[in-house]
Chain A
Amino acid sequence: MKYHLRNTIAAMVLGSTLASAAWAEDLKIGMVVTLSGPPAALGQQIVDGFQLALDEKDGMLGGQKVDLIVEDDELKPDVALLKATSLVERDEVDFVVGTVFSNMLQAIFKPIVQSETFLISPNAGPSTFAGRNCSPYFFVTSYQNNQNAEISGMIANEEGFENVFTMVPNYQAGRDNIEGFKQTFEGTVTDEVFTPLGHQDFSAELARISTSDADAVFTFMPGGMGVRLVNQFANAGLSESMKFMSVFTTDETTLPGQKDAAVGLLAAGSWAPDLPNDANQAFVTAFEAKYGYIPGSYAMQAYDTANLIDSAIAKTGGDLSDRDAVRAAIKEADFTSLRGDFSFNNNHYPIQDFHMLKVVKRDDGKFHTSFVRTVAEDYADSFSQDCKM
């Protein structure tokens, strides 16, 4: 009995050494996304998209077993900072993937890049780190925040809208989007209306829209605000007399709440679930089969991020100690993006095509954004020239 016990203990010790040895070989990826509160759906898409890419490669990226640690930043900068530092210092992760929101990214940026850990943003793309403050350890796989609004301005020009009514929530991202829109829009902005963040009742604003002489509305109302605005816009009967263009207002996370009210509304983006390329069709089919909902751009960007890491590690042969080699491998972006053409600019933000999208209803009664036409090819952001990299 005693002998047996000793063997067991020996086996356990041996087992745990082996396990930790194997564990040390693992590629550790920390993820900081928002998984609580109303915007949790966005963070969930990122987790799901990343996980799908991992599952397709049997849990390995670049031939290495991945140990994925997912953290919720609760949309609080202090929490995000705490989680990010513990990922870098305690878990000693090789990559940090995050965040959903730009203000969360601003909170975690410094400690991560200072520890020389690679930080890859699957969604947030603030101008802050695109210009003078760009970092050799920071990459963005989504877009630069202003770009979608700039594309909306171009769409307005192409569609021949002369007077546009703009309305955004009264905070930084809202004001940025209006600025982005005005940068490319050649017509007249009739009104700039700022609503409180989380606005409930848009009927006063809708009344102003109806009495203005605008041909179209441009707006940025993410999440629940977008659901309320689009439903109230349709109920007020404005959809017949006025065009509706938006960014992050009618996407796959809000369409289940907007349904028919959103059909036909215009949006700008770098991707849509029906973007015609084989990789994308396979992704959307696999994603829907696994999670039961149509993926939005958040899931697509996370899936691309996983494939980017996969390509970079394969290129370096799994050796992460040479940071310059890893950086060069990431920068090559030698993976099949679901968006088609994809490359990194000198500031590590993407250069990619942007399209006009339109909300459609699918035969099975579900709603998604649909590719209409490409508005700008190989479009780069306007801050890159300030980046000395």
Chain B
Amino acid sequence: MSMTLFLILCLNGLQYGMLLFLIAAGLTLVFGVMGFINLAHGVQYMVGAYLAFFFLQLTGSFALTVLLSLGSALLIGLLLEFFVFRHLYHRSHLDQVLATFGIIIFLNELAKVLFGPTTLSIAPPELLSGSIQLTETLRYPVYRFVTIFAGLAVAVALFLTVSYTRTGMLIRAGATTPEMVSALGVNIQKLFMIVFGVGAMLAGFAGVIAAPIFAIEPGMGDNLLIVAFVVIIIGGVGSIGGAFMAALLVGLIDTLGRSLATIVLSAVFNPSFANQIGPALASMLIYILMAGILVFRPQGLLPAKGGA
């Protein structure tokens, strides 16, 4: 395997990790702070991608599209919280799973009704459509680098907000003792709403930046949701830092594993056996990692301080 291939794999792993982080960040806050299981979080990613498609057709400008999509994703998150999720906080986890699963089905079908069942795609913005020549024949799109930096920027902003602002302090306090925070005169309902809205917006943002690389189709967020849950379990529920670390870890392991598993196995076994086993093993790697974490460090890699 050449150095270039390894480099590309690492870049892809980072990029996948950033995408996972954007989704997992909201999920871990909602799950950690509110103790609320939101299966519909993955569908917000799909909503973001469709919003990007819609606004790009409407405006023709990518910058405007990002802004409008973020605003709409936030709004949709807040509306869902107000009309549906708010009434579920005090219900059992099973009720939450059922209700949010219903939302997945509803929004997936809605996307199909509005945009049709065929796979859609959008072009990356003109400014970032260039690519870097890596080898004689292979180019790496600039847009992909930009998504890594966008994810990093969001991670830093989120970390600063949660660690150093008043709202961040309340979020951390609300995660441990919501009753106490409420008794001190803080509107915990409003706090939850903000957390929820921002979480939805981040997942939507992931959808927007992923739309030009991957295709837009109904149900595109469903698989990512499962991986996002793996990320928050590995990182520690409710911990932004943990989600960041775990997302990068999962992104790198998954991407490298897929390419290396077959190569490594074929060094030991015969090629056709390696070809059979390699892909299957590669897709199990992150779950094996999660199982290991659950056994040896059940609180996660970087657990939230005092968290449940």
Contact = CB atoms under 8 A, between A and B. Distances in A.
A162 B283 CA distance: 32
Interface stretch (B137-145, B179-187, B188-196): B137-145
B92 interface: no
A231 B144 CA distance: 13
Interface stretch (B67-75, B117-125, B298-306): B117-125
B12 A257 contact: no
B8 A204 contact: yes
B275 A192 contact: yes
A235 interface: yes
A342 B216 CA distance: 37
Nearest to A228: B215
Contacts of B216: 257
Given A232-B213, A238-B137, A204 B12 contact: yes
A265 interface: no
Interface in B82-131: 109, 112, 116-121, 131
Nearest to A43: B117
Interface string A217-254: 00000011001100110011110011000000000011
Interface string A255-266: 011110000000
A37 B109 CA distance: 8
A253 B218 CA distance: 15
Contact of B218 (A37, A44, A205): A37
Given A38-B219, A206-B138, A223 B9 contact: no
Interface in A122-171: 170
B119 A236 contact: no
A78 interface: no
Contacts of A196: 258, 279, 282-283
Given A38-B219, A259-B121, A208 B16 contact: no
Given A40-B112, A170-B280, A227 B215 contact: yes
Given A40-B117, A235-B131, A257-B118, A211 B215 contact: no
B231 to A, nearest CB: 16
Contacts of B112: 36, 40
A257 B120 contact: yes
Interface residues of B, number: 44
A200 interface: yes
B218 A211 contact: no
Of the listed residues B4, B117, B259, the one surrounded by the most CB atoms of chain A closer than 10 A to its CB is B117
B255 interface: yes
A195 B282 CA distance: 10
A210 interface: yes
B141 A38 contact: no
Nearest to A193: B262
A367 to B, nearest CB: 12
A227 to B, nearest CB: 4
Nearest to A192: B275
A223 B220 CA distance: 12
Count class of interface residues, chain A:
35 or more
A41 B117 contact: yes
Given A203-B12, A235-B131, A257-B119, A211 B5 contact: yes
A224 B215 contact: yes
B138 A231 contact: no
B215 A257 contact: yes
B270 interface: no
A92 interface: no
Interface in B1-56: 2, 4-5, 8-9, 11-12, 15-16
A194 interface: yes
Contacts of A210: 135, 137-138
A198 interface: yes
A237 B137 contact: yes
A201 interface: yes
Given A196-B258, A224-B119, A236 B140 contact: yes
A15 to B, nearest CB: 36
A201 B16 contact: yes
Contact of B131 (A41, A204, A237, A242): A237
Interface string B136-174: 011111001000000000000000000000000000000
Interface in A309-342: none
Given A200-B214, A207-B8, A223-B119, A194 B137 contact: no
6 contacts: A196-B279, A201-B214, A210-B135, A235-B131, A254-B119, A259-B121
The 8 closest A-B CB pairs, nearest first, are: A40-B117, A210-B138, A237-B139, A227-B215, A257-B119, A41-B117, A224-B119, A194-B279
Interface of A: 36-41, 44, 170, 192-196, 198, 200-201, 203-208, 210-211, 223-224, 227-228, 231-232, 235-238, 241-242, 253-254, 256-259
Given A200-B214, A203-B11, 19 more contacts: A36-B109, A40-B112, A40-B218, A170-B279, A201-B214, A204-B5, A204-B9, A204-B258, A207-B138, A208-B5, A210-B137, A211-B5, A224-B119, A227-B215, A228-B214, A236-B140, A238-B137, A256-B119, A257-B120
